Chains A and B, each alone.
Chain A
Amino acid sequence: MKYQSQAVAKYYFIAAIALFVGQILFGLIMGLQYVMGDFLFPEIPFNVARMVHTNLLIVWLLFGFMGSAYYLVPEEAETELFSPKLALIMFWVFLAAGVLTILGYLMVPYATLADITGNSLLPTMGREFLEQPTITKIGIVVVALAFLFNIGMTALKGRKTVITLVLLIGLLGLAVFFLFSFYNPINLVKDKFYWWWVVHLWVEGVWELILGAILAFVLIKTTGVDREVIEKWLYIIIAMSLITGIIGTGHHYYWIGTPRYWQWWGSIFSAMEPIPFFMMTIFAFNMVNQRRRNHPNQAAVLWALGTSVMAFLGAGVWGFMHTLAPVNYYTHGTQITAAHGHLAFFGAYVMIVLTMISYAMPMLRGREAANSNKSQVVEMWSFWLMTVSMVFITLFLTGAGIAQVYLQRYSDTPQAFMVVQEKLATFYWMREVAGVVFLIGLITYISSFFVGGKEAEEIA
């Protein structure tokens, strides 16, 4: 750690990991409800478990992004953070808002939550991923503004690098597109149209800039490859992300009451969206092959390479699978979607945050550059347990999805939704088993922070 103020990142990373655990526990609850429909009913209905699962995911990823920025920007700018105090205040505000919101979901019926938080004044609730009460959404905007101000001022007073710039554009975009969550017209078609300006333009737009910037940072640090080379790659990757991803939004406009021309725009541009992800894979492996030094933190290198591969598989391959309009006609809103959603979120955004934590945490905890060998071995075990089990979750959901599409939509005698669901129970049981392995992987991950702490680092 070169600058004292980078230390604030540690709070953000610890909170991220804690919320990650909560996310997975509720994933397992839902996985069980898929096969034992009355599990925890009516205490925790499926929709409540789902909003806890997905909102915890988003919130902990945001903690991860903010922590990454607080670590990365001072180092790139070669100066202390503009205001570590503001960063800490915002940490507690965000954590309190997040925890209170989750408790709200769990303690009172959702309609009561909508009522007591005054949803009727500015109705924004009750839409997928945007379930937060309107006041929580306003809180998120406040935290995001304070964060951007802090990071922006830091960048302004120090060295300006391409990595910082790209990260800042990505984070600014994140905040700007979130504003569309406040637009909720009665017209269902328009509501859906702009809902995707948050969801799609996040994960297939501005978040890719954040992903690229963090990946580039960790690769510079761990491989020692010339910054000029890395920055050129970064620019061309994010150029491809936005060139394909913005019009690619059209792959969500096939069947929601919007004009037919989106079937062409959406299919053609989103079919090219895998390109930037593929470039990331080539980029990461090339940089590691051309490394000028062997960094002692091999776990971080593994996470970085893993991110580049899994993001390509989850977003690129599993995304491409159902993105062309004639295919999407059959797969739209099935378990295929769930399969892709899991591998893409995990491979791209969960793994990039874990990459950054892996790289930064040893220094944040007062070590020279890396954890002891013993700790890294445990961390690498957790990498494989989580990654492989997530691949299996994806494969089982894909199997369920193919069967669902055939039985419910494609065969000559289409069957009712619930009838088909019963027939998919075996797939869902296997998904749940893979989910338990994922949890074991996560516990292994956390335990890696507590082993080999006193042992020396490998001298690479």
Chain B
Amino acid sequence: MSQTFTKSMARNIFYGGSLFFFLLFIALSVDTSEAIPKQNAKAIITPQVAMGKRIWEDNDCIGCHTILGEGAYFAPELGNVYKRFGNSTDAIKAFIKSRPKNGIPGRRSMPQFNFNEKQLSAIAAFLKYASEIDTNGWPPNIQG
């Protein structure tokens, strides 16, 4: 690099640029924090949804599935599973409940978690909640 461009100029660009864009990022994040509840007014968080999210986490569902496109790519997207299953929480519960304990020979299968009725309802409520988040039109179609 040329002599007219000195190390101290490079250093100032680093400190000045980083600070400026970090502050801009904070400002955008504050605005986003305020916008999230408005944008997702339809996605209501009930105590049941809250319980469902904990069950989702305590069983590491994200280790196989994506939700809103994030997670693992081994099993189907679940952000829109409520809609894919015909807007039915019962269908979700029935699916989770009926997984064979020892899997399906030769195929990928989901574990049997032995959830009780209350847990099943909570996880289904959580997935219904996820499907009501306004994702700017993603995914492109119902297959996720």
Any B CB within 8 A of the CB of A232: yes
CB 8 Å contact bits of A412-433 with B (1 = contact, 0 = none)? 0011111001000000000000
Any B CB within 8 A of the CB of A69: no
Q: Which residue of chain B is the closest to A184 with respect to CB atoms?
A: B57
Q: How far is the CB of A50 from chain B (nearest CB, A)?
A: 5
CB 8 Å contact bits of A97-140 with B (1 = contact, 0 = none)? 00000000000001100110001100101111001000000000
Q: Which residue of chain B is the closest to A254 with respect to CB atoms?
A: B136
Which of A189-197, A307-315, A342-350 lies at the interface with chain B?
A: A189-197
Asked if residues A257 and B133 are in contact (CB atoms below 8 Å), the reply is yes
Q: How far is the CB of A122 from chain B (nearest CB, A)?
A: 12
Any B CB within 8 A of the CB of A188: yes
B side interface size, CB within 8 A: 75
Q: In the complex, what residues of B have CB within 8 A of residue A235's CB?
A: 7, 10-11, 13-14
**Cα of A36 to Cα of B105 in the assembled complex, Å:** 9
Asked if residues A256 and B106 are in contact (CB atoms below 8 Å), the reply is no
Asked if residues A246 and B53 are in contact (CB atoms below 8 Å), the reply is no
CB 8 Å contact bits of B86-111 with A (1 = contact, 0 = none)? 00000000000000011111111101
Asked if residues A42 and B138 are in contact (CB atoms below 8 Å), the reply is no
**Cα of A247 to Cα of B73 in the assembled complex, Å:** 26
Asked if residues A38 and B14 are in contact (CB atoms below 8 Å), the reply is no
Q: In the complex, what residues of A have CB within 8 A of residue B64's CB?
A: 45-47, 50
Asked if residues B129 and A258 are in contact (CB atoms below 8 Å), the reply is no
Beyond A249-B25, A256-B70, A333-B69, whether A239 also contacts B138 by CB under 8 A is no
Any B CB within 8 A of the CB of A231: yes
Asked if residues A232 and B10 are in contact (CB atoms below 8 Å), the reply is yes
Any B CB within 8 A of the CB of A51: yes
Q: In the complex, what residues of A have CB within 8 A of residue B136's CB?
A: 254-255, 260, 263
Q: In the complex, what residues of B have CB within 8 A of residue A190's CB?
A: 33, 36
Asked if residues A242 and B14 are in contact (CB atoms below 8 Å), the reply is yes
Q: Which of A51, A236, A263 contacts B63 (CB 8 A)?
A: A51
Q: Which of A115, A242, A256 contacts B21 (CB 8 A)?
A: A242
Q: In the complex, what residues of A have CB within 8 A of residue B102's CB?
A: 41-42
Asked if residues A232 and B7 are in contact (CB atoms below 8 Å), the reply is yes
Q: Which residue of chain B is the closest to A334 with respect to CB atoms?
A: B73
Q: How far is the CB of B122 from chain A (nearest CB, A)?
A: 12
Q: Which residue of chain A is the closest to B65 with respect to CB atoms?
A: A47
**Cα of A417 to Cα of B74 in the assembled complex, Å:** 9
Where chain A touches its partner, the secondary structure class is: helix
Asked if residues B32 and A127 are in contact (CB atoms below 8 Å), the reply is no
Asked if residues B62 and A329 are in contact (CB atoms below 8 Å), the reply is no
Q: In the complex, what residues of B have CB within 8 A of residue A416's CB?
A: 76, 143
Any B CB within 8 A of the CB of A289: no
Beyond A128-B72, A188-B67, whether A42 also contacts B36 by CB under 8 A is no
Beyond A42-B102, A231-B7, A257-B43, whether A246 also contacts B135 by CB under 8 A is no
Beyond A37-B109, A417-B143, whether A256 also contacts B18 by CB under 8 A is no
Q: Which of A125, A261, A333 contacts B58 (CB 8 A)?
A: A125
Q: Which residue of chain B is the closest to A124 with respect to CB atoms?
A: B57
Interface size class of A (residues with CB under 8 A): 35 or more
Q: Which residue of chain A is the closest to B143 with respect to CB atoms?
A: A414
Q: How far is the CB of A150 from chain B (nearest CB, A)?
A: 25
Q: How far is the CB of A155 from chain B (nearest CB, A)?
A: 17
Q: In the complex, what residues of B have CB within 8 A of residue A38's CB?
A: 103-109
Q: In the complex, what residues of A have CB within 8 A of residue B73's CB?
A: 333-335, 337-338
Q: In the complex, what residues of A have CB within 8 A of residue B72's CB?
A: 46-47, 50, 128
Asked if residues A188 and B53 are in contact (CB atoms below 8 Å), the reply is yes
Q: How far is the CB of A238 from chain B (nearest CB, A)?
A: 6
**Cα of A71 to Cα of B24 in the assembled complex, Å:** 36
**Cα of A41 to Cα of B104 in the assembled complex, Å:** 9
Beyond A37-B103, A41-B109, A126-B58, whether A257 also contacts B21 by CB under 8 A is no
Beyond A42-B111, A126-B58, A232-B1, whether A239 also contacts B13 by CB under 8 A is yes
Asked if residues A189 and B40 are in contact (CB atoms below 8 Å), the reply is yes
Asked if residues A47 and B63 are in contact (CB atoms below 8 Å), the reply is yes
Asked if residues A192 and B25 are in contact (CB atoms below 8 Å), the reply is no
**Cα of A258 to Cα of B134 in the assembled complex, Å:** 8
Q: In the complex, what residues of B have CB within 8 A of residue A119's CB?
A: 57-58
Q: Which residues of A contact B (CB under 8 A)?
A: 30, 33-34, 36-38, 41-42, 45-48, 50-51, 110-111, 114-115, 119-120, 123, 125-128, 131, 162, 184, 186-190, 192-193, 228-229, 231-233, 235-236, 238-239, 242-243, 246-247, 249-250, 252-263, 265, 329-330, 332-335, 337-338, 408-410, 414-418, 421
- Interchain residue pairs with CB less than 8 A apart (16): A33-B74, A37-B108, A46-B63, A47-B63, A48-B60, A51-B60, A111-B58, A114-B58, A125-B57, A126-B58, A189-B36, A192-B70, A257-B40, A408-B144, A414-B143, A417-B77
Apart from A232-B5, A255-B139, what are 6 other A-B pairs with CB-CB below 8 Å? Answer: A38-B107, A47-B64, A235-B14, A257-B133, A414-B143, A417-B75
Which 9 pairs, one residue from A and one from B, show the smallest C-beta to C-beta distance? Answer: A47-B63, A126-B57, A37-B108, A333-B69, A255-B138, A235-B10, A239-B14, A417-B76, A242-B18
